Structure 1
Amino acid sequence: MSTAKRYSNLDLVDRVDGFPNAATHPVAFAERTAEFARFTYLSHTIGYIIPRVRAALEDVALSGDWWEITPGAVSVKGGTVEERTANISETLKRWREAKRFDVLSGWRNEMYTIYAPQGKPCFHMERSATPLFGVLTYGSHMTVYVPASATRPLRIWVPRRAAGKSTYPSMLDNTVAGGMGDGQTPLGCIIKEAGEEASLEESYVSANVRSAGFVSYFYVREPDAGGESGLLQPEIEYVYDMAVGEPDGEGPVPVPCDGEVAEHMLLTVEEVKEQLARGRFKPNCAAVMLDFFIRHGILDAENEPDFVEIYTRLHRRMEFPTR
């Protein structure tokens, strides 16, 4: 008999939303964050800094004197967005050169915007460094599917990530997905990634994609994420659907383009459920797939005993300023 772990839908949510929610579990949240420093801007919390990162910031020779550090909080100096960005960038440059944190070996040369209240930029930060500061980041995910017909069930285009990727190699993904870099919009991100990852034409995607809200969660990074385990990664992922025709008819067929994807498979809902249960999906992509199931009536209160908890935790209210 196989002893491989089987994941329930709630297990999949626990995996991606593993940080206690201050609103619903205040005691667990207080216990978990007791040794953390709040990363602050003015009086607002914009992230959480774990002890080993705080220790690096306290080392002035390593990190510079651009940080205000008190017993419970850390903030970056600078009166403007540009000054704060420059100070953070210089610290990260030093950390990278010193090989202080493994996660920085995945340096992307891609800046993410971290927000102050009212959707105003606070500073910009190298993508690979964001989990070191526990700041909220954004992405866009699109599920491309072939609707059910009289002769065929609904099927979903599911990519397998390339084996050589530094994060989640060979795991299953959403049809198109990517992080939102500085200056990108959610839809612009999807259109760009659709071309790069799946060879889908911009004009087709623009005409057929449909916005479907977002999922939000607070991920505690696992080994497959690359770099140190236990780093904090709260995220909001804008969600899109795109219905297409049969691949043997007029429907476009996703084709790997940039080396990020090994193959695309057209799977039935039952096949996707089986791969979810085996833990084969990248954790946040499993969350997006569950959200797709809910929105399309595949997962509901009649067939899922944990439906309410799953639904609410896929749409977690964040305690940080948002865009």
Structure 2
Amino acid sequence: MERGILGVVRECDNFSCDEPTTRSEDPEKPYAFRVNGCDSVLGYMTRDIVRKIQWSHTWSIDHHQQTVTLATPATATADMRSRALDDTLKATKKLGTISLLNSWRNETFPVYGPRGEALLEIERCASALFGIVTYGIQLICYVRDERGLQLWIGKRSEEKKTYPGMLDSTAAGGLGAGKLPIEALISEAEEEASIPEEIIRMKVKPMTPLTYFHIRGNKAGGESGLFQPEVEYTYELELDPSMIPEPGDPEVECFRLYTIEEVLQALKQRLFKPNSAIVVVQLLIQLGILTQENEPSYFEILSHLYCKLEFPILMQQSC
């Protein structure tokens, strides 16, 4: 395990651009997910997942070029594509060959084309199967008092299917289809940390959105080794010391104030959920605690926080 803050961010942004993605019929090469009528690759799929999905006549699978193409007409609407994909996922779920589909949420994520157009929507739990770019929000709250700067860190329930018992940001969640980042932020802050909407609207500050390419490990729940490129809209919020976040969701076990030293120790001990860890690192940079003067890998850390994704993405206004 690589030590230091650089190792922390590399564990989240852990897809190597040097991996073999160009040679045909390479067993280690991911299949490219495409949609008929769109020139861009939209995601990466593992060979094992391609083998397990119940494909229908709506799909074109090329094992030589290692591509999976949704072969709906080029003029198909987003709704038509979404229905075709949903039918395939539900048929596969009935087979019981992919455990990730057992976490079906009836919540969809958007898939965007190169001009920012919504090509289709996909069931949230299946997004990693196709390796599409997903979007989320994260909030880190902190206070300043006589003890100095302290961060409000959440602890995930031991019953969570994903990253059980690990440390987390103050509030976080996925950005479903049709939702603005600020709307999702308000909802998650109220639901997970009992922070009122008026405090969010008055005091929250957006940070620069994070972009990274993660390969899921065994703590993520479901199949491991799946591709997960993500955009995270991140926010910081300085709370009055009298304001104490309270779990409003059973998936959050508790909140506790961490000193900067405790936060750094928890990061280095890998106690944080990977994409929560990098939000904490981003805040430490934002607040001037982690700088190029005291961190020799500063610029390499930045390259992992703001990775250039090779798929189409849509960047919305944070607020």
In the superposition, the TM-score normalised over structure 1's length comes to 0.90
Amino acid aligned to 1:195: E
Amino acid aligned to 2:60: E
Q: Which residue of 2 aligns with 1:94?
A: 91
Q: Which residue of 2 aligns with 1:268?
A: 259
Tell whether 2:284 aligns with 1:293.
Answer: yes
| CA positional deviation for 1:102 | 1.1
Tell whether 2:194 aligns with 1:202.
Answer: no
Tell whether 2:315 aligns with 1:308.
Answer: no
Among 135, 139, 145, the alignment partner of 2:136 is: 139
Dislocated runs of 4+, deviation >6 Å:
none
8 Å CA contact 2:52–2:98 kept in 1: the answer is no
Tell whether 2:230 aligns with 1:239.
Answer: no
Alignment of 1:15-30 (within 5 A): 15-21=11-17, 25=18, 30=22
8 Å CA contact 2:21–2:29 kept in 1: the answer is no
| CA positional deviation for 1:35 | 2.5
Tell whether 2:71 aligns with 1:77.
Answer: yes
Among 216, 219, 230, the alignment partner of 1:221 is: 216
Task: State the number of aligned residues.
Answer: 305
Q: Which residue of 1 aligns with 2:149?
A: 154
8 Å CA contact 1:217–1:236 kept in 2: the answer is yes
Q: Which residue of 2 aligns with 1:50?
A: 46
- Structure 1, gaps ≥5 residues long: none
- Structure 2, gaps ≥5 residues long: 315-319
Q: Which residue of 1 aligns with 2:58?
A: 66
What is the CA–CA distance in structure 2 between the aligned matches of 1:187 and 1:100, rounded to whole Å? 37
* CA RMSD across the alignment: 1.7
| CA positional deviation for 1:29 | 5.4
Q: Which residue of 2 aligns with 1:177?
A: 172
| CA positional deviation for 1:34 | 5.5
> Helix, strand or coil for the counterpart of 2:42?
strand
Q: Which has the higher helix share?
A: 1
Amino acid aligned to 1:86: R
| CA positional deviation for 1:69 | 2.0
Q: Which residue of 2 aligns with 1:35?
A: 29
What is the CA–CA distance in structure 1 between the aligned matches of 2:246 and 2:211, rounded to whole Å? 28
Q: Which residue of 2 aligns with 1:104?
A: 101
Amino acid aligned to 2:165: S
8 Å CA contact 1:154–1:268 kept in 2: the answer is yes
8 Å CA contact 2:113–2:119 kept in 1: the answer is yes
CA shift digits 1:267-288 (9 cap, x unpaired): 1111111111111000010011
| CA positional deviation for 1:7 | 3.7
| CA positional deviation for 1:88 | 0.6
Among 9, 12, 28, the alignment partner of 1:13 is: 9
8 Å CA contact 2:139–2:185 kept in 1: the answer is yes
What is the CA–CA distance in structure 2 between the aligned matches of 1:278 and 1:176, rounded to whole Å? 21
What is the CA–CA distance in structure 1 between the aligned matches of 2:155 and 2:20, rounded to whole Å? 36
CA 1:174/1:241 → structure 2, altered by over 3 Å: closer, same or farther?
Answer: same
